[in-house]
Amino acid sequence: MALSFRAFLRSLAANSKALRNPTTVGSQRLTLVLGNESADLDSIVSSLTLAYVLSQKTTMAIPVINTNRSDMVLRPDSTQLLQHTLATSGTTIEEALTFIDDINLTELIAKAHPLLDVWLVDHNAPSSRQAQLEPYVTGIVDHHVDEAKCLVGCSSREQRQIESVGSCATLVAQRLRGLNVDVDSELALLLLAPILVDSSNLDPAACRATTADIECAQWLGSLVDWETNNLAGALDAKSPRELYKALDSLKGAVSHLSAFDLLRKDYKQWQVSSSVSSTSSASSASGVMWTVGISSIGFPLK
């Protein structure tokens, strides 16, 4: 019997707790579904829904949001979407979801090996900070340029799906459509949201939406009951266009953020190797590794 989406959502809290239980980890096969570190709407939704797809075959597929729990305040669009979706199953973000800072990857690998499987979604190679996961990657669903990593664990088409589409959620939707499961209104809208956001509401002028994105958006949109859907009602959205406009507005909302949050919302950090000579006042030796960070805050000119 197929697992319903609501039943899957209700199971997340127990699975999340089990993930942090040393007596559980290592005693059964564990599948983590990890989005990329940008943790945008597409990455979060894709990790959650791919975990649901995989849960039709495995008993413990757990989505992991690849950002710190406290950083969700920077993502009001994702927060709204998740809050209202989880509410339909009587749970919350705090109870149901696992964030990357909830777990210690080094300890998890030590305890779960060799029963650990990792699926990457919305990226196809672990970041440098999570490189220790590469030997455990057994599946990839992504729409970025193939970095030719993780080739040993996932070589088949089923395990390694990397296609150039506008939204990674489109690829998850395709997998979902191939299953014999009931796609309810909440699940349909959840997957539809990032497809619309990433493609600027399928606008041809944006040159982002592919035929696959359009077909999946049309299929998902036909499954949404716009009159009774929990999230659609909260956002006063009666159509895909209105849903896109509401989420796009939320994405740019910053009035709820502190000055510190404003600075870290768009913060970027990277390392560069300096070639400054020893005579420079900036460094006493050449080849120094610098950690560089930059942030910006938008301000209207009118």
Check if the beta carbon of residue 191 is closer than 8 Å to that of residue 223: no
φ, ψ (nearest 5 deg) of residue 118: -125, 130
Instruction: Please tell me the predicted confidence (pLDDT) of residue 287.
Output: 67
| CA atoms of 159 and 140, how far apart (whole Å) | 6
Distance CA 45, CA 40 (A): 9
SS3 166: coil
The pLDDT of residue 286 is 56
Q: What does DSSP assign to residue 3?
A: P
What mean pLDDT is predicted for residues 217-233? 95
Phi and psi at residue 270, in whole multiples of 5°? -155, 170
CA distance 45 to 172: 9
165: Cβ–Cβ under 8 A, 6 or more apart, which residues? 143, 171, 210, 212, 213
229 vs 171: CA distance, rounded Å: 23
Q: Identify the residue whose tokens are 């710190």.
A: 68
For a pLDDT cut of 90, what percent of the chain falls above it? Answer: 68
What value does the mean pLDDT of the chain take? 89
- The pLDDT tens digits for 40-98 are 999 999 999 999 999 998 777 999 999 999 999 999 999 999 999 999 999 999 999 99
What residues have CB less than 8 Å from 261, skipping those under 6 apart?
A: 73, 74
Report H helices in the chain.
5-19, 41-54, 76-87, 93-96, 105-112, 168-177, 185-198, 211-223, 230-234, 240-251, 259-265
Name the range with the highest mean pLDDT among 4-18, 205-219, 250-264.
Answer: 205-219
Nearest residue to 296 (alpha-carbon basis) of 234, 254, 239, 256: 254
Which is higher by pLDDT, 53 or 271?
A: 53
Question: Strand 268-273 vs strand 289-294: parallel, antiparallel, or unpaired?
Answer: antiparallel
Which residue, 16, 52, 32, is CA-closest to 105?
32
State the amino acid at position 109 in one-letter form: I
CA–CA dist 191, 216 (Å, integer)? 9
- Mapped onto helix, strand or coil, the DSSP state of residue 116 is strand
Predicted TM-score (pTM) of the model is 0.88
pLDDT confidence tier of residue 155, bands split at 50, 70 and 90 = confident
H or E segment to which residue 160 belongs: strand 160-162
178-193 per-position pLDDT tens digit: 998 999 999 999 999 9
Give the residue, 87 or 261, on which the prediction is more confident.
87
